[in-house]
């Protein structure tokens, strides 16, 4: 019997860490009402959408049967935004990581430039490092919940790839020091978690573990492909084994950062002159685009994009996005949003094959606010 809920609760990914902090006795409010504990581990599986679990329950029987709740990833449903929302317990309107890429200015007076927070690079995902121009703690200035846990005496452990240890995104979002256990495979992640909680301790302990291969395989081969289904089966077995082997008094939580959709209709922005007229830059990703207009041309660009993308994308102005609180209720980082924002519908992909060759070749995408991209599982044991 499939236990995964059929509709999401009102909670989002930004509610997870405050609830864990509350369960660990730090005095926070617990939106998810997690029972008190002295040990907790949070496992994040990149790209594990709740709708995908439902569609492929035969490949993930444990996840389908034991997922307690469905929550929202938040908007846009992309890794850099979601991980920061998770870490700081707030939507991107508060922390400022407003997409896969967006324009930013520094204090030098130089023109704004496109910035990719996932890779922490300038102009594109393969561009030069942005660490000097955009120091992580200046780009994202909110304290993380992991910092607050550590300050309250909780032992913090990270279990994830070694190259994430000092990445710009890790430094911007998670911010806290702690023990770091390098782990690539699911077996290594499982062992790192078990090692963290293998011995009793008087200290309160929290471990954060991340696995990204499911998302990578979904991007390359498509969600639901044979390769993706095999990875999903491996994730499901990992969850089964971890839940069995982890001490019963250690609280286990598992969630994701977004779901995924398959590319069906590709719109080539680079080959559509009307989409580039009076446009200085196009950022974001194939499912959510930030469009930056030349001075005084925002209205014309809005009309052009709406005319070109009728029935293909929802195209709105920055002000409309702010009024709708699409990115959250705050306006602190409104200047990072595009003058025009295009949100793809259905299986539409707003691609840039000339400037984003790798991203445009992918078969799986995410970012928009469809159920397939927004709905994520929350397992609490």
Domain shared by 55 and 187, yes or no: yes
Residue 192 belongs to what domain range?
Answer: 13-97+140-261+370-380
SS (H, E, C) the chain: CCCCCCCCCCCEHHHHHHHHHHHCCCCCCCCCCCCCCCEEEEEEECCCCHHHHHHCHHHCHHHHHHCCEEEECCCCCCHHHHHHHHHHCCCHHHHCCCCCCEEECCCCCCCCEEEECCCCEECCCCCCECCCCCCHHHHCCCCCHHHHHHHCCCEEEEEECHHHCCCHHHHHHCCCCCEEEECCCHHHHHHHHHHHCCCCCCCCEEEEEEECHHHHHHHHHCCCCHHHHHHHHHHHHHHHHHHHHCCCCEEEEEECCCCCEECCEEEEHHHCHHHHCCEEEEEEECCEEEEEECCCCHHHHHHHHHHHCCCCEEEEEHHHHHHCCCCCCCCCCHHHCCCEEEEECCCEEEECCCCCHHHHCCCEECCCCCHHHHEEEEEEC
Domain shared by 256 and 145, yes or no: yes
Cα 120 to Cα 84: distance, rounded to the nearest angstrom: 13
Domain shared by 196 and 239, yes or no: yes
Cα 373 to Cα 343: distance, rounded to the nearest angstrom: 12
For residue 133, being part of any structural domain is answered with: no
For residue 109, being part of any structural domain is answered with: no
CATH code for the domain of 301 = 3.30.1360.180
Helix 79-88 vs helix 16-23: angle between axes, to the nearest 10 degrees?
Answer: 30
Domain shared by 179 and 297, yes or no: no
Domain shared by 178 and 310, yes or no: no
Domain shared by 169 and 235, yes or no: yes
pLDDT digits (tens, 9 = 90+) for 273-323: 999 999 999 999 999 999 999 999 999 999 999 999 999 999 999 999 999
For residue 170, being part of any structural domain is answered with: yes
Domain shared by 246 and 332, yes or no: no
For residue 348, being part of any structural domain is answered with: yes
Q: How many domains does the chain have?
A: 2
Domain shared by 234 and 309, yes or no: no
For residue 131, being part of any structural domain is answered with: no
pLDDT digits (tens, 9 = 90+) for 166-212: 999 999 999 999 999 999 999 999 999 999 999 989 999 999 999 99
Task: Per-residue pLDDT tens, the chain, 381 aa: give them.
Answer: 456 666 666 899 999 999 999 999 998 999 999 999 999 999 999 999 999 999 999 999 999 998 889 999 999 999 999 999 999 999 999 999 999 999 999 877 788 999 999 999 999 899 999 999 999 999 999 999 999 999 999 999 999 999 999 999 999 999 999 999 999 999 999 999 999 999 989 999 999 999 999 999 999 999 999 999 999 999 999 999 999 999 999 999 999 999 999 999 999 999 999 999 999 999 999 999 999 999 999 999 999 999 999 999 999 999 999 999 999 999 999 999 999 999 999 999 999 999 999 999 999 999 999 999 999 999 999
Domain shared by 342 and 285, yes or no: yes
Alpha-carbon distances, residue 69 vs 7, 15, 345, 367 (angstroms): 9, 13, 25, 21
pTM (global) more than 0.85: yes
Q: Return the residue matching tokens 């660009």.
A: 301
254-287 in b/e form (b: 16+ CB < 10 A) is: bbbbbbbbbbeeebebeeeeebeebbbbbbbbbb
Cα 278 to Cα 298: distance, rounded to the nearest angstrom: 8
For residue 174, being part of any structural domain is answered with: yes
Intra-chain end-to-end CA distance of the chain, in Å: 18
If you count them, how many residues does the chain have? 381
* Residues whose CB is less than 8 angstroms from the CB of residue 256 and which lie 6 or more positions away in sequence, other chains included: 44, 45, 46, 47, 48, 49, 50, 73, 376, 377
Domain shared by 44 and 91, yes or no: yes
Domain shared by 61 and 184, yes or no: yes
Domain shared by 351 and 318, yes or no: yes
For residue 32, being part of any structural domain is answered with: yes
CATH code for the domain of 249 = 3.40.720.10
For residue 125, being part of any structural domain is answered with: no
């Amino acid at each position: 019997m499939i236990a995964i809920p059929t509709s999401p609760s009102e909670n989002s990914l930004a509610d997870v860490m405050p609830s864990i902090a509350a369960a660990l006795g730090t005095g926070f409010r617990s939106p998810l009402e997690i029972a008190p504990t002295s040990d907790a581990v949070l496992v994040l599986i990149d790209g594990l959408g709740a709708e995908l679990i439902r569609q492929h329950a035969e490949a993930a029987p444990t996840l389908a049967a034991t997922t307690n709740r469905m929550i929202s990833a938040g908007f846009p449903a992309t890794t850099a935004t979601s991980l920061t929302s998770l870490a700081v317990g707030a939507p991107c309107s508060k922390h400022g990581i407003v997409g896969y890429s967006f324009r930013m200015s520094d204090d030098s007076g130089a023109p704004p430039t496109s910035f990719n927070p996932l890779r922490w690079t300038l102009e594109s995902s393969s561009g030069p490092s942005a660490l000097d121009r955009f120091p992580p703690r200046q780009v994202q200035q909110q304290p993380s919940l992991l910092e607050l846990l550590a300050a309250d005496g909780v032992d913090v452990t990270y279990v994830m790839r070694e190259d994430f240890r000092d990445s710009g995104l890790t430094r911007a979002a998670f911010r806290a020091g702690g023990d770091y256990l390098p782990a690539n495979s699911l077996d290594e992640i499982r062992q790192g978690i078990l090692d963290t909680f293998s011995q009793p301790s008087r200290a309160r302990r929290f471990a954060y573990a991340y696995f990204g291969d499911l998302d990578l395989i979904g991007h390359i081969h498509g969600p639901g492909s044979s390769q993706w289904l095999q990875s999903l089966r491996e994730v499901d077995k990992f969850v089964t084994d971890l839940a069995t082997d982890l001490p019963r008094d250690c609280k286990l939580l598992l969630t994701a950062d977004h779901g995924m959709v398959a590319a069906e209709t590709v719109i080539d922005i680079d080959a559509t002159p009307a989409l580039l007229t009076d446009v200085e830059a196009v950022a974001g990703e194939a499912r959510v685009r930030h469009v930056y207009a030349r001075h005084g041309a925002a209205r014309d660009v809005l009309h052009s994009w709406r005319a070109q993308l009728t029935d293909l994308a929802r195209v709105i102005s920055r002000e409309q996005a702010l009024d709708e609180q699409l990115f959250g209720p705050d306006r602190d980082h409104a200047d990072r949003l595009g003058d025009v924002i295009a949100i793809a519908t259905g299986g539409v992909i707003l691609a840039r094959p000339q400037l984003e060759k790798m991203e445009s070749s992918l078969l799986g995408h995410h970012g928009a606010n469809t159920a397939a991209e927004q709905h994520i599982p929350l397992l609490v044991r």
